[in-house]
């Protein structure tokens, strides 16, 4: 059986077979999903499988975690069938596809772009902000000006199929102040975290955000500490889901800080979800998920509602893992 088929038909089995047995929890948290030795990459959602493969081409050759996460999420940004990341992403209420992305390395260097239009790979621009400017974040027209000056690839968005869907949506949704519904189709950011052969950590996060959002809206994904946080002293975490709720608890930073206190990755992700649950009376449609790795190679994920999964790639192979969750829809 081909490896992909193996995953599709035996995700859980695959996950269990390729990871080392979890060791007894040495932490305050009760559980973690696994531990791996050597390089490791973890990404949100099914699209993480292909993205991880991109990252693995770098990691398996001894490349850095930073290069790996950039290469990895570029796969998703370039996937024209993906409606929530990159060129194939859905637009906002005014018909503009506005992209958000950030990147961070374990030594706390980071770069971010938000509300960026017309660039094929926002993650490249985010990395350039980190490496070629004195700043952490550029947004909107300024981010675009910088990206064009740096010679990054442009792309026309929305692509025709997406434009057609948008026009239909506009006809059916005259009240533009109505809260757009969140579902699996309109919010699926790719967040990726990796550890390389030298134990260095990095992460990347990129999205077209909440479909049909207000023009100008920015979610958690490009916000360092919300959509992504990495600290080589501890570990890395990234988020997906309703960005507004994740920003309010500085979600990914929260996960890393909980791990700093000795809490295992899965339990730290769970506590960040529980914090969101405690702060929100109305949980309708409020899906959020986190994934995390610690500097020792332990990893885990957790979501508020069922249905969140994440992709793993390490020396033993790949797997798609269903995250534990607090409640059913």
Catalytically annotated residues: 189
Phi, psi of 236 (to 5 degrees): -140, 150
Work out which of 206, 207, 254, 298 binds ligand ASP, going by CB under 6 A. Answer: 207
Task: Note whether 14 binds ligand ASP by CB under 6 A.
Answer: no
The residue among 21 and 282 lying less far from ligand ASP, judged by its C-beta, is 282
C-alpha dihedral, 300 to 51 to 191 to 103, nearest 10°: 120
Torsion 53-75-109-132 (CA) sign: positive
Work out which of 33, 36, 52, 221 binds ligand ASP, going by CB under 6 A. Answer: 221
Query: Which residue has its beta carbon closest to ligand ASP?
Result: 243
Whole-number Å distance between alpha carbons of 15 and 25: 19
First and final C-alpha spacing in the chain: 34
The residue among 58 and 256 lying less far from ligand ASP, judged by its C-beta, is 256
Of residues 240 through 259, those in contact with ligand ASP by CB under 6 A are 240-243
- CB-CB contact of 91 with 97 (8 Å): yes
Residue 65 corresponds to which tokens in the numbers above? 């975690």
Min. distance of Cβ 122 from ligand ASP in angstroms?
Answer: 13
Min. distance of Cβ 30 from ligand ASP in angstroms?
Answer: 26
Of residues 177 through 196, those in contact with ligand ASP by CB under 6 A are 187-189
Residue 234 CA: distances (Å) to CA of 76, 154, 170: 27, 36, 46
Task: Note whether 220 binds ligand ASP by CB under 6 A.
Answer: yes
Task: Note whether 82 binds ligand ASP by CB under 6 A.
Answer: no
- Contacts to ligand ASP by CB under 6 A: 187-189, 207, 209-210, 219-221, 240-243
């Amino acid at each position: 059986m081909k490896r992909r088929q193996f995953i599709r038909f035996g995700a859980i089995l695959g996950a269990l077979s390729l990871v080392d047995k979890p060791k007894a929890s040495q932490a305050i948290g009760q559980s973690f999903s696994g531990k791996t030795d050597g390089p490791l990459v973890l990404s949100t959602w099914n699209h993480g499988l292909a993205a991880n493969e991109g990252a693995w081409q770098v990691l398996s050759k001894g490349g850095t975690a930073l290069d790996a996460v950039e290469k990895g999420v570029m796969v998703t940004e370039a996937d024209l069938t993906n409606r929530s990341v990159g060129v194939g992403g859905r637009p906002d209420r005014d018909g503009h596809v506005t992209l958000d992305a950030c990147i961070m390395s374990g030594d706390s260097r980071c770069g971010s772009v938000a509300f960026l239009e017309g660039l094929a790979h926002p993650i490249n621009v985010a990395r350039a902000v980190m490496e070629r400017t004195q700043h952490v974040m550029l947004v909107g027209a300024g981010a675009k000006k910088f990206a064009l000056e740096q010679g990054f690839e442009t792309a026309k968005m929305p692509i025709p199929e997406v434009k057609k869907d948008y026009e239909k949506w506009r006809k059916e949704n005259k009240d533009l102040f109505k809260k757009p519904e969140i579902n699996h189709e309109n919010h699926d950011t790719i967040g990726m975290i990796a550890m390389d052969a030298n134990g260095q950590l990095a992460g990347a996060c990129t999205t077209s955000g909440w479909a049909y959002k207000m023009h100008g809206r920015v979610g958690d994904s490009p916000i360092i500490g919300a959509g992504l946080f990495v600290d080589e002293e501890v570990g890395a975490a990234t988020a997906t889901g309703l960005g507004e709720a994740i920003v309010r608890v500085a979600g990914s930073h929260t996960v890393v800080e909980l791990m700093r206190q000795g809490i295992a990755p899965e339990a730290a992700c769970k506590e960040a979800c529980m914090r969101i649950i405690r702060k929100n009376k109305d949980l309708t449609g409020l899906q959020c998920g986190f994934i995390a790795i610690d500097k020792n190679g332990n990893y885990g994920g957790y979501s508020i509602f069922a249905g969140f999964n994440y992709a793993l790639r390490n020396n033993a192979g790949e797997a798609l893992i269903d995250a534990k969750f607090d409640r059913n829809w």
